[in-house]
Amino acid sequence: MAYGRAVPGSVQSIERAAAILQVVAGSGGTLGVTDIAEAVGLAKTTAHSLLRTLLQVGFVEQDPATGRYALGVALLRLGSTLDTNELRARASNWADALAARSGHAVRLAALAGDEVVVVHHVFRPDDSAQLLEVGTALPSGCALGKVLRAHSHPHTGSRSGARSSAVATELAEVRARGWAADRVEHQPGVGGIAAPVRGAGGLVVAALGITGAQSALFDVRGTPRPLVLSMVTDAAHAVSRELGAPGA
Amino acid sequence: MPPVPERYVLAVDQGTTSTRSLVFDRGGRMVAVRQREHRQYFPRPGWVEHDPMEIWANTQRTAAQVLADVPGTGEVMALGIANQRETTVVWDRDTGRPVTRALVWQDTRTDELVTELAARPGAALVAERSGMAIAGYFSGPRLRWILDHVPRARERAEAGQLLFGTMETWLIWNLTGGPDGGVHVTDVTNASRTLLMDVRSCRWDPDLLAFFDVPAAMLPEIRPSVGVLGTATALSPALPITGALGDQQAALFGQTCFAPGEAKCTYGTGSFLLQNTGTELVHTRSGSISTVAYQLTGEPVHYALEGSVAVAGALVQWLRDGLGLISSAAEVETLARTVSDNGGCYVVPAFSGLLAPHWRGEARGLVAGLTSYVTKGHLARAALEATGWQTRDVVRAMAADSGLSLPALRVDGGMTTNNLLMQFVADALDTPVVRPMVGETVSLGAAYAAGLAVGLWSDVEALRRNWHRAAQWSPSPERARALTAEYPTWERAVQLSIAWGAP
């Protein structure tokens, strides 16, 4: 079977890449570039440049010793969402450090459908009575919710179509600057700051944030205090790096 | 006025799989960490060895790296060491070379020797004097094995040419100069795990040395856990070594369990529960063991009851690697939450026998209560519940021995991110389970011990103020009642696992 000629209306290089992936998947990591080129009916140089691109995006891996190809980690992760328990295990040390340094309660949240659900919760380090909120849903207008909504796909959820332009503008801002703030969070006088956590594919998989007294988090004009803000964004960045996010 | 430089403590956590160097600030917060794994040698079935030279090299390297990580304006005041317990090293005092690789605490080669020793007249002396029954788990029998099997070892040991130590002894000797004036000391918690020390006087016991046929000349001097041990001239800058504790005792210290009754459980590969019992030794008869918790210089020894369970996280690893039911350890909670109960299924993970409180080496693992109704979700739940039930077994034995109630269980270790398990433990014990903000309790305990000795903290109360609750799981009265009713079923599964392995 040869894939040298494109079906009208289709993109030839994608077809060829798909054929290569099928061959690699079927070979169990036993084929080099010559065998793959032969199997899909391409010139060796063409197969090689396609494989190089697939290598770059992580869809294939090459054994450095033998030069043979196997399916890559990024491909295997496609379509599988990050397990929230896995997310908590990987984020735990960074969440603890954020709570210890900032002196505020820390929450890690992810979207479950349209809901903003707490995946991990570290108490405010003052030993007062607090309840573990893991599994509970938060109002979508909190800082964590804003981060998650700003990065969610627009077609999820019926409400997205009805988003007011003010909300849309705010979410665009959240996307652009890499954090969200909420000056009136769960209770009066309490606010929140949150930043996105990215997974291995680079997509936002969760939001990490703190909640605390408004005066501790924001200055009189309502701008986040730089030190507190950098603690949150640094911690979110560290979790992203832990998850293998590109560039984190 | 120039700013006051921040003061720090360096901790070395010499563990079973890796050596880690960490720096903590006065708030007990981790500032920097470096880690290096070492090779595991399995020369024969049941044998586990480490290369002491590799571990010493890793200690030097990670300590130098982490000291370089400390912000320039800061000052590191002291070094504390926590170590894998019962792992045994014997080396030449002139060359500094070990006579053989270290025999690791998981190594079971002394089983036959221990059986033989336990059958001898006078064997009852061991439990009476050391506080612990003869078992291959402790370091004394390993030392004896080396003396018996390494050519000329006994002769050279008797001539004073060879030195014995657990890992903290080996590291302190090397840090303080090695062959060139190295200090040969052990801390009292590590010494208490040899079977060679009188647990009341905290001195090497001549009768125990005679029983195990170990020359006194090779033994290190026993020192308090908190106090000056020597100067680590191998580090730059040189630091006073002022704290040393076995790793589980270090975790108890790091969790600031300083009052009788306070307890911690570390959930790692196995689970290790220690409860402070104060300055009086508790006589055990229910399957927990009496061990030294810590000693501050000039103060009496504090004791603890200990319950070690061999398999906790290792069971989750088995679900992942042995059965392929999950692709990461954390996913066990996801799988377990696909069902609402264990479906009548019980897993007893007696992979190589049962430790506390049963001490039945012959027991073997089993899955009980299988019906076609049971799914992998039930199996995952039963696996997590096994860890909770085993905690209950240990706590019950301790309560019987000490008569102390457990106000709350302080937990640490990797499995504390598993909310299903932590809630189950709270319900099974009918006791609140609390997790501290700093999960690195072993290295924190070593840092606390060292920092106390140099006055970085004024007293243990100052350390208590550093402890903050990061999470709490409270028991539900209804669930607690249901689990109490269910407990006999678990006990029956345990009895079956013992019967199954009986010869």
Contacts (Cβ under 8 Å, ≥6 apart) of A61: A55, A69, A70, A71, A72, A73
Looking at the complex, does the CB of residue B338 fall below 8 Å from at least one CB of chain A? no
- Distance between CA B434 and CA A165 in Å, rounded? 45
The dihedral built from the CA positions of residue A160, A165, A169 and A172, taken in this order, carries a sign that is positive
pLDDT, tens only, B164-217 = 999 999 999 999 999 999 999 999 999 999 999 999 999 999 999 999 999 999
pLDDT at A184: 73
Q: What angle do CA A128, A129, A130 make, to 5 degrees?
A: 110
- Among A154-168, B285-299, B412-426, the range scoring the smallest mean pLDDT is A154-168
Strands (E), chain A: 60-62, 69-71, 105-112, 115-122, 137-138, 180-182, 190-198, 204-213
A85–B418 C-beta distance less than 8 A = yes
Half-sphere exposure of B326 (CA within 13 A, CB side): 25
Do B330 and A126 lie within an 8 Å CB cutoff? no
pLDDT at residue A109 tops 60: yes
Res. A5: pLDDT tops 70? no
Whether A84-242 and A12-77 are alike in CATH topology: the answer is no
Is the pLDDT at A160 greater than 90? The verdict is no
CA distance B68 to chain A (A): 21
Of B29, B30, B471, the CB nearest to A121: B471
What tens digit of pLDDT does each residue of B451-482 get?
999 999 999 999 999 889 999 999 999 999 99
Distance from the first to the final alpha carbon of chain B: 76
Place of tokens 């590291």: B171
B244 near B165, Cβ under 8 Å? no
Cβ of B29 under 8 Å from any chain A Cβ? yes
Q: Of A175, A197, A13, A211, which Cα lies nearest the Cα of A94?
A: A197
The H or E element containing residue B75 is strand B75-83
Q: Over the stretch B347-375, which tens digit does the pLDDT of each residue have?
A: 999 988 898 899 888 899 999 999 999 99
**Which residues of chain A have a CB within 8 Å of the CB of B468?**
100, 123, 125-127
Per-residue pLDDT band at A80 (split at 50, 70, 90):
low
Among A83, A97, A120, the residue with its CB nearest the CB of B334 is: A83
Question: HEC string of B334-396?
Answer: HHHCCCCCCCCCEEECCECEECCCCCECCCCCEEECCCCCCCHHHHHHHHHHHHHHHHHHHHH
pLDDT band at A158 (very low <50, low <70, confident <90, very high): very low
> Tokens in use for A155?
């077609």
Determine the Cα angle at A157 with ends A151 and A162, to 5°: 90
Mean pLDDT, to the nearest integer, of A186-203? 86
Average of per-residue pLDDT across B132-158:
92
Is A134 an 8 Å CB contact of chain B?
Answer: yes
Nearest CB to B438 within list A84, A100, A126: A100
Q: Which pLDDT score, from 0 to 100, does residue B113 have? A: 92
A84-242, which class in CATH? alpha beta
What confidence score (pLDDT) does residue B458 get? 92
Residues 6+ apart with CB under 8 A from B291: B131, B132, B189, B192, B193, B199, B249, B274, B303, B304, B305, B306
Q: Which long-range contacts (CB under 8 A, 24 or more apart) does A40-46 make?
A: A40/A2, A40/A3, A40/A16, A41/A1, A41/A2, A41/A3, A41/A4, A42/A3, A42/A4, A42/A16, A46/A16
- Give me the mean pLDDT over the A96-112 stretch: 94
Mutation site, B22, B23, B319, B419, interface A, largest A CB count within 10 A: B419
Which value, in Å, is the radius of gyration of the alpha carbons in chain A? 23
Decide if pLDDT at B224 tops 90: yes
Residues in chain A with CB shorter than 8 Å from the CB of B439 are 92-93, 96
Average pLDDT along chain B: 93
pLDDT for B1 = 54
Predicted local confidence at residue B493, as pLDDT? 97
Q: Give me the half-sphere count of Cα atoms (radius 13 Å) on the Cβ side of residue B188.
A: 25
Looking at residue B62, what is its pLDDT? 95
Are B184 and B157 in contact, with CB atoms under 8 Å apart? no
> In angstroms, what CA-CA distances link A44 with A16, A26, A50, A197, B125?
13, 19, 10, 40, 78
Bridge partners (DSSP) listed for residue B410:
B264, B434
pLDDT at position B52: 97
A121 at the B interface (CB within 8 A)?
yes
Q: Which element (helix H / strand E) includes B185?
A: strand B185-187
| Mean pLDDT of the B127-145 span | 89
Is some CB atom of chain B closer than 8 A to the CB atom of A125? yes
Q: Which pLDDT does position B31 carry in this prediction?
A: 86
The pLDDT of residue B2: 57
Residue A45 near residue A29, CB atoms below 8 Å: no
Q: Is B468 on the interface with A (CB under 8 A)?
A: yes
> Band of the pLDDT at A3, cuts 50, 70, 90?
low
Nearest to B169 by CA among B86, B74, B261: B86
Mean pLDDT of B238-255: 96
Instruction: Pick the closest to residue B414 from B320, B342, B287, B306 (CA basis).
Output: B320
What per-residue string of b and e applies to A102-131 under the rule 16 or more CB within 10 Å gives b? bbbbbbbbbbeeeebbbbbbbbbbeeeebe
| pLDDT for the residue numbered A93 | 87
Contact (Cβ atoms closer than 8 angstroms) between residue B228 and residue B171: no
User: Is residue B427 within 8 angstroms of chain A, CB to CB?
Assistant: no
The residues with which B271 forms a beta bridge, in sequence order, are B267, B309
Protein fold of A12-77:
Arc Repressor Mutant, subunit A (1.10.10)
Quick check: A88 and B417 CB within 8 A? yes
Q: Which residue among B329, B333, B437 places its CB closest to the CB of A125? A: B437
Chain A: residue nearest B415 by CA?
Answer: A89
Record: contact B29-A100, CB cut-off 8 A: yes
| pLDDT tens digits along A83-102 | 899 999 999 989 999 999 99
Distance CA(A233)–CA(A228), nearest Å, equals 9
pLDDT 10s digits, B398-409: 999 888 889 899
What is the 8-class DSSP label of residue B480? H
Put simply, whether the predicted model's pTM sits higher than 0.80 gets the answer: yes
pLDDT at A77: 57
| pLDDT on residue A229 | 96
Whether B471 and chain A come into contact, CB under 8 Å, resolves to: yes
Determine the average pLDDT of the residues in A233-245: 91
| pLDDT score of A239 more than 70 | yes
CB B208 within 8 A of CB B130: yes
Predicted confidence band at A8 (pLDDT cuts at 50, 70, 90)? low
Among A106, A121, A132, A134, pick the best mutation site for testing chain B contact (most B Cβ within 10 A): A132
CB contact set of A224 (below 8 Å; sequence gap of 6+): A179, A181, A193, A217, A218
Exposed, middle or buried by CB within 10 Å (0-12, 13-18, 19+), for B358?
buried
- Of A170, A122, A118, nearest to A147 by C-alpha is A170
Per-residue pLDDT band for A25 (boundaries 50, 70, 90) equals: confident
CA dist list (Å): A160 to A150, A155, A157, A164, A179 = 11, 7, 6, 9, 20
Q: How far apart are CA B394 and CA B404, in angstroms?
A: 13
Smallest CA-to-CA distance from B24 within B453, B465, B448 is with B448
Residue A157: what pLDDT? 43
What is the predicted pLDDT for the residue at A1? 46
This model of the complex carries an ipTM of 0.81
Share of chain B above pLDDT 70, in %: 99
Residues B218, B223, B229: CA angle, nearest 5 degrees: 95
Where along chain A do its domains lie? 12-77, 84-242
Minimum Cα–Cα distance from B438: chain A residue: A96
Structure tokens at B419: 């909310």
Residues of B in contact with A130 (CB under 8 A): 469, 472
Instruction: Name the residue among A85, A99, A121 with its Cβ closest to that of B330.
Output: A85
